[in-house]
Structure 1
Amino acid sequence: MAAGQAAGGNSRGRQAAAVTVVRAGGGYGGNNDRYLDLRVDDDPTPIARLQQLVAMHHLYFGAVDPANVVPLAGIAAELQAMLRATGDYTGPQNGEFDAATRTALRALVGRENLEERWDGTADAIDGLALDYLRRRFG
């Protein structure tokens, strides 16, 4: 789509973009074959918006890559600052990933629907979830 747009696009201008990916059992919960079915209409930059939606789909529904997890102990001070800014944490910014920090992070992760990326018990968080939290709250 992007290459087509770069080559001149549709004579009617930018208007819509869509993507459908079908695979056996690929839908939510494996209940259908629609792995991805997204459409953007009446948008000045439909391809860019569709790319954002695909990235969001992968964030919320994709699997965690074990090679892309970040130990929480190493980013505790950063998380505490972030969690203070969101109002989830009122403790000291001491760089220790303690029970209060874990509870606060669990609240934020739950509010952002990222529980599939961090279950609240692991000592490392998915890198995609961390990147999202940094962009949104960091």
Structure 2
Amino acid sequence: MTFSIVGYDPKTKEHGIAVASKFLSVGAVVPFAKAGVGAIATQSWANLDYGVKGLELLEQGHSPQEVFEQIRATDENFASRQIGIVDAKGRGFTFTGDECFDWAGGLAGENYAAQGNILVDHSTVENMEATFLQTEGSLADRLLSALLAGDAAGGDSRGKQSAALLVVKENGSYGGYTDKYIDLRVDDHEDPVVELGRLMKLHKLYFEGTKKEDIVEVSGVLEDEIRELLYRSGHLSREYADHDSILKALESYQYRENFDERVQPKGFVDVQVVEYMRLMK
């Protein structure tokens, strides 16, 4: 009842899964991943042991094929299951049981595995594969682009409801405490994959670090504009509009709006923050 793509980026060592379905909160069921180990999508009457035990077996050094064979041996309903696996070596594997509802199938290769069931037709999986292989950028960008391509090709034949994107890398979380780099979910929405794309843009804005070329000095015309924007947002009083007051108000604004990762040394600002301020006026 789902279509998904599992991927790996050998340069950044990131693993991830993008998934969509006519199913409430698919992100709570399908995707499993662990940094340095691999990623797994378990779907079609999803057996969550495929994710939990699958990662354990990958971590022990088993290949994706071996992982599936071991789990299948203890699952009498494996013919109804579908799974996609990519390990830490980039080996992709997909399986679709004979009892999965049409259209069902998958494609796998180096660094990816794409699969789906109860789809309009095979185009969804084929478009996901082609888009993932042809798209440049981060793993998250490639996975999301692939999911959008699959959605545009028809996707789940029953309709749309939820989507999710999970990407892991070592110390990738906010503050570096866990390996969960991106964990975005659209649990119930009329156009969940498009909405997931909107959330991804927000994730980049709030959690990606500043690019060197985006750092600019707060002076001249830009300082005048920032002063006006801070006035309008209620973060600066016209009684206190000198340079230092503007910089203090700007810093306060950034922390209040959760731009922790983009705050620059005194006297400078990330242009992405300024763009956000312009949109909010």
* TM-score bracket, shorter-length normalisation: 0.7 to 0.9
Q: Report what 1:23 is aligned to.
A: 169
Q: Report what 2:97 is aligned to.
A: none
For the pair 1:87 / 2:234, whether they are aligned, the reply is: yes
* 1:46-78: CA deviation from partner (whole Å, max 9, x where unpaired): 122211222222222211111112221141111
Instruction: Tell me by how many angstroms 1:6 deviates.
Output: 1.2
- Name structure 2 gaps, 5 residues minimum: 1-146
Structure 2 residue aligned with 1:103, among 223, 233, 248?
248
Q: Take 1:115 and 1:32, find their aligned partners in 2: how far apart are those partners? A: 18
Contact 2:168–2:182 (8 Å) recurs in 1: yes
Structure 1: which amino acid aligns with 2:253? L
Structure 2 residue aligned with 1:7, among 143, 149, 153?
153
Three-state SS of the structure 2 residue aligned to 1:35 is strand
Higher alpha-carbon deviation: 121-130 or 81-90: 121-130
Higher-Rg member (1/2): 2
Contact 1:27–1:34 (8 Å) recurs in 2: yes
Three-state SS of the structure 2 residue aligned to 1:17 is strand
Structure 1 residue aligned with 2:259, among 97, 110, 114?
114
| Bigger share in helix | 1
Q: Take 1:29 and 1:108, find their aligned partners in 2: how far apart are those partners? A: 21
Alpha carbon RMSD of aligned pairs, Å?
A: 2.0
Change (3 A) 1:40 1:130: same
For the pair 1:69 / 2:215, whether they are aligned, the reply is: yes
Q: Take 2:179 and 2:251, find their aligned partners in 1: how far apart are those partners? A: 32
Q: Quote the sequence identity (%).
A: 36
Structure 1 residue aligned with 2:279, among 111, 116, 135?
135
Contact 2:186–2:195 (8 Å) recurs in 1: yes
Instruction: Tell me by how many angstroms 1:123 deviates.
Output: 2.0
Change (3 A) 1:28 1:118: closer
Three-state SS of the structure 2 residue aligned to 1:116 is helix
- Name structure 1 gaps, 5 residues minimum: none
Q: Take 2:209 and 2:189, find their aligned partners in 1: how far apart are those partners? A: 30
Q: Report what 2:186 is aligned to.
A: 40
| Bigger share in strand | 2
Contact 1:68–1:127 (8 Å) recurs in 2: yes
